[in-house]
Amino acid sequence: MAAAARRSPLACLEALSLAGTLPLALCGSHSLLGQTFDRMLGFLKNPVVVTAEINLSLVALTVMGLMSRLWGLSYPRAVVFDEVYYGQFVSLYMKRIFFVDDSGPPLGHMLLALGGYLGGFDGNFLWNRIGAEYSMNVPVCSLRFLPALAGALCIPLAYQILVELHFSHCAALGAALLILLENSLITQSRFMLLESILIFFILLAVLSYLKFYNLQRHSSFSGRWCFWLLLTGVACSCAVGVKYMGLFTYMLLLAIAGLHFWHMLGDRTLSNVSLVCHFLARGLALLVIPVAMYLSFFYVHLALLYRSGPHDQIMTSAFQASLEGGLARITQGQPLEVAYGSQITLRNVLGKPMQCWLHSHTNTYPIRYENGRGSSHQQQVTCYPFKDVNNWWIVKDPGMQQLVVSNPPRPVRHGHIVQLVHGITTRYLNTHDVAAPLSPHSQEVSCYIDYNISMPAQNLWRVVKHNILHLKLFISACYLSHCSNSESLLFTFFFQWKILTLKNEDTEHKYSSSALDWITMDTNIAYWLHPTSGAQIHLLGNVCTWASANVAAVVYTCLSLWYLIRRRRKIYDIPEDAWQLWVSAGQICVGGWVVNYLPFFLMEKTLFLYHYLPALTFQILLIPIVLQHLSDHLCRSLLSKSMFSALVVAWFSSVCFAYRTFSPVTYGEPLSVAELKDLRWKDSWNILIRKQGR
């Protein structure tokens, strides 16, 4: 030990590194510094190595998807089909103007508006017709970027879904390539439309659930397990938030998750506590979080749109008052409780067939009605079923002249006598012994005009509280009593109706279609037409892919029925693991096609070809699944496998040929009249051919 103590610090450090047991105290403070320095040198001498597995096929597919969807994204620099519809909402978002789109939830609109915001769009563009040239202030590429990006990412998602379904990488590659070469999906994703975003979230939800399910057996409640389960719920919520069509896939995944949990209940290796935890985790991730997120989309929507807009009238007066530039100008500084000087609206609470508001305007009753009866010729008072600025009244104290709220406010109570002053015309609500226009047995209600004749104003009203709710929210005119000679009178208001003519509503949209037309692609949609060159863009699918998807669905259905009948008789044509794989693929792909297609037969709305795209995506995923199953289990010999592979190669070549043939109308390339005629493979397709181009 004494010899060791006389060693140099470096020698001591070397001995420490070799033996690992020499006390550091024997080396002194210098050995500690030497050890630290040596470790630093060792770190610098050794290279920093990070290992990662990269799926080059997946990377290549992603790059090709980005190229096919993002190339020439700003062309055409004109409004394309439904961009005229969604663009209006983007402009309203940019200007923070409140609106309501009753056709769908707000997430999709907000994502499109995000593209406009990132591109610096100010919202100043008139979205009035398809084909209108975009002005220079419209960032076309930015507005179309998010749908195009979502469409491109659907390709690697399709690849990953088949991998998670435990099919071969060759089958996964085939599914991704079919999505890549599908003309209709390319067209729909290259413009400011929502279908590509919807399909992206649908596929993300399916992939997330499959990853979660595959981790179930060995990694329950791990970090990865929780992540994929939560992502499933988030993606489902986003899908529903983009379009209500996303609800179909959400319901499918809930059904599959319920079926899987039902199977877990029969697993005796799981304790009751474990089953309860599994149930709560699924309920939280697949029900609670999606609902909370869905509601948050509307919260963000309302938070962004704080200015008064064209759709204010369908909202409550309280909400309108919260919007900048709307009723806020009237109600600003008003007390929450009705007081003298308050500006209020009066709504009937017992009226049928609809609610209406006490309303007046500058028009007067005619001196004589058509039946010869006379009137007071006073200002008309009606009951108007729409929100309007002429519905506002001021509560006035008869003993005072001021029309503003005092400080502190003097609340109006049960039994108080008030006057009601019309906010626009400043005339008093009045009644007198003159027959009403439509109900001679009732007294006329009007706003008093002083004609300097012997018709005194009778404009004092008693407030009668029906219940506390009515007192807080509004004073209903049906419960106000007229004070005249100590008599009370319950009066009636009259509806105003707007009379107009409409075009024949039975006329269908030129490019509308039925759900039966989609399977055989008997229809197309002309999205855009160049005014001179003949270049045009159509929503038109890859004919070979659509036909193959239909064949795959028929083959899957027939084989499944055959297997079920044979298994019922205890005849097992394929191994059990192959059968489970076949069933799982059908739950996702066939189930996804069914839930996204069949509901359209029950809808009365106008349908278009693009409504079929989510269902088509699931059907395309089924094609390589059926092909691999046929190759693995029906082609027994080497010769049959080789022949089948050759047929698959020939078939895929036809898919590539169809893609290239219809690429000009996918990307809007100029075409001659002869080339346009050659693209009309079906008589039902509406390929636009201009006579002056001949």
Report pLDDT for 203: 98
Query: What residues pair up with 347 in beta bridges, in sequence order?
Result: 357
Percent residues over pLDDT 90 in the chain: 54
SS3 state at 666: helix
Q: How confident is the model at residue 491 (pLDDT cuts 50, 70, 90)?
A: very low
Q: Which of 36-50, 116-130, 217-231, 376-390 has the lowest mean pLDDT?
A: 36-50
End-to-end CA, the chain: 106
Between 302 and 7, residue with greater pLDDT: 302
Secondary structure, 3-state, 321-348: HCCECCCHHHHCCCCCCCECCCEEECEC
Task: Please determine, for residue 483, whether its predicted confidence score (pLDDT) is greater than 70.
Answer: no
Location of structure tokens 């000087």: 341
- The runs of H, that is alpha helices, within 20-139 are 28-45, 56-70, 83-94, 107-118
- Calculate the CA dihedral of residues 267, 269, 273, 275 and round it to 10 degrees: -20
Q: How confident is the model at residue 263 (pLDDT cuts 50, 70, 90)?
A: very high
Q: Which of 154-158, 187-191, 447-451, 588-592 has the lowest mean pLDDT?
A: 447-451
Q: Which of 126-140, 360-374, 628-642 has the lowest mean pLDDT?
A: 360-374
Q: How confident is the model at residue 160 (pLDDT cuts 50, 70, 90)?
A: very high
Instruction: From residue 133, give the alpha-carbon distance in Å to each of 74, 82, 99.
Output: 12, 14, 25
SS3 state at 620: helix
Instruction: Tell me whether strands 417-422 and 392-396 are parallel, antiparallel or unpaired.
Output: antiparallel
| Strand boundaries in 111-265, DSSP class E | none
Report pLDDT for 506: 53
Could you give the CA distance from residue 213 to residue 257 in angstroms, rounded to a whole number? 9
Tell which CATH classification among 2.80.10, 2.40.50, 1.10.1060, 1.20.58 matches the domain 318-345+357-482: 2.80.10
Report pLDDT for 691: 62
Instruction: Tell me whether strands 343-345 and 392-396 are parallel, antiparallel or unpaired.
Output: antiparallel
Instruction: Please report the sign of the dihedral spanned by the C-alpha atoms of residue 268, residue 270, residue 272, residue 277.
Output: negative
Report pLDDT for 187: 97
Report pLDDT for 145: 97
Q: How confident is the model at residue 580 (pLDDT cuts 50, 70, 90)?
A: very high
Each residue of 583-596: b (16+ CB within 10 Å) or e? ebbbbbbbbbbbbb
- The runs of H, that is alpha helices, within 586-691 are 591-597, 613-633, 638-667, 673-678
Task: Please determine, for residue 2, whether its predicted confidence score (pLDDT) is greater than 50.
Answer: no
Give me the mean pLDDT over the 170-192 stretch. Answer: 97
Before 385, cis peptide (omega within 30)?
no
Between 373 and 567, residue with greater pLDDT: 567
CA contacts within 13 A on the Cβ side of 185:
34
Residues of the chain with CATH 2.80.10: 318-345+357-482
Give me the mean pLDDT over the 302-309 stretch. Answer: 90
Give me the mean pLDDT over the 240-267 stretch. Answer: 96
Condensed to tens digits (0 to 9), the pLDDT of residues 267-284 reads 888 899 999 999 999 999
Per DSSP, the residues of 383-395 read EESS--GGGEEEE
DSSP 62: H
Could you give the CA distance from residue 691 to residue 694 in angstroms, rounded to a whole number? 6
Condensed to tens digits (0 to 9), the pLDDT of residues 382-392 reads 888 777 778 88
Q: How confident is the model at residue 6 (pLDDT cuts 50, 70, 90)?
A: very low
Could you give the CA distance from residue 49 to residue 51 in angstroms, rounded to a whole number? 6
- Closest Cα partner for 433 from 375, 481, 361, 368? 375
Condensed to tens digits (0 to 9), the pLDDT of residues 280-300 reads 999 999 999 999 999 999 999
Task: Please determine, for residue 301, whether its predicted confidence score (pLDDT) is greater than 90.
Answer: yes
Instruction: From residue 95, give the alpha-carbon distance in Å to each of 92, 178, 311, 427, 438.
Output: 5, 41, 14, 37, 46
Q: Which of 136-145, 199-208, 457-466, 612-621 has the lowest mean pLDDT?
A: 457-466
Q: Which of 5-19, 210-224, 677-691 has the lowest mean pLDDT?
A: 5-19
Could you give the CA distance from residue 187 to residue 141 in angstroms, rounded to a whole number? 15
CB-based contact 633:574 (threshold 8 Å): yes
392 exposure class (CB count in 10 Å sphere: 0-12, 13-18, 19+): buried
Report pLDDT for 616: 97
Tokens of 41: 């040198």
CB-based contact 526:688 (threshold 8 Å): yes
Could you give the CA distance from residue 189 to residue 151 in angstroms, rounded to a whole number? 5
Report pLDDT for 24: 42
Between 450 and 480, residue with greater pLDDT: 450
* Residue 597 φ then ψ, to 5°: -115, -50
DSSP 104: S
Q: Which helix (H) or strand (E) holds 557?
A: helix 543-568
Task: Please determine, for residue 181, whether its predicted confidence score (pLDDT) is greater than 70.
Answer: yes
Could you give the CA distance from residue 618 to residue 96 in angstroms, rounded to a whole number? 37
Q: How confident is the model at residue 103 (pLDDT cuts 50, 70, 90)?
A: confident
pTM for this prediction: 0.81
Secondary structure, 3-state, 508-554: CCCCCCCHHHHHCCCCCEEEEECCCCCCEEEECCCHHHHHHHHHHHH
Task: Please determine, for residue 485, whether its predicted confidence score (pLDDT) is greater than 60.
Answer: no
CA angle at residue 594 from 589 to 596, to 5 degrees?
Answer: 95
Report pLDDT for 478: 37
Say which amino acid occupies 175: A
Report pLDDT for 479: 40
Query: What residues pair up with 684 in beta bridges, in sequence order?
Result: none
Could you give the CA distance from residue 292 to residue 387 in angstroms, rounded to a whole number? 31
607 exposure class (CB count in 10 Å sphere: 0-12, 13-18, 19+): buried
Could you give the CA distance from residue 1 to residue 23 in angstroms, rounded to a whole number? 11
Task: Please determine, for residue 252, whether its predicted confidence score (pLDDT) is greater than 90.
Answer: yes
Report pLDDT for 31: 60
Sheet containing 417-422: order of strands: 343-345, 392-396, 417-422, 461-463, 480-482
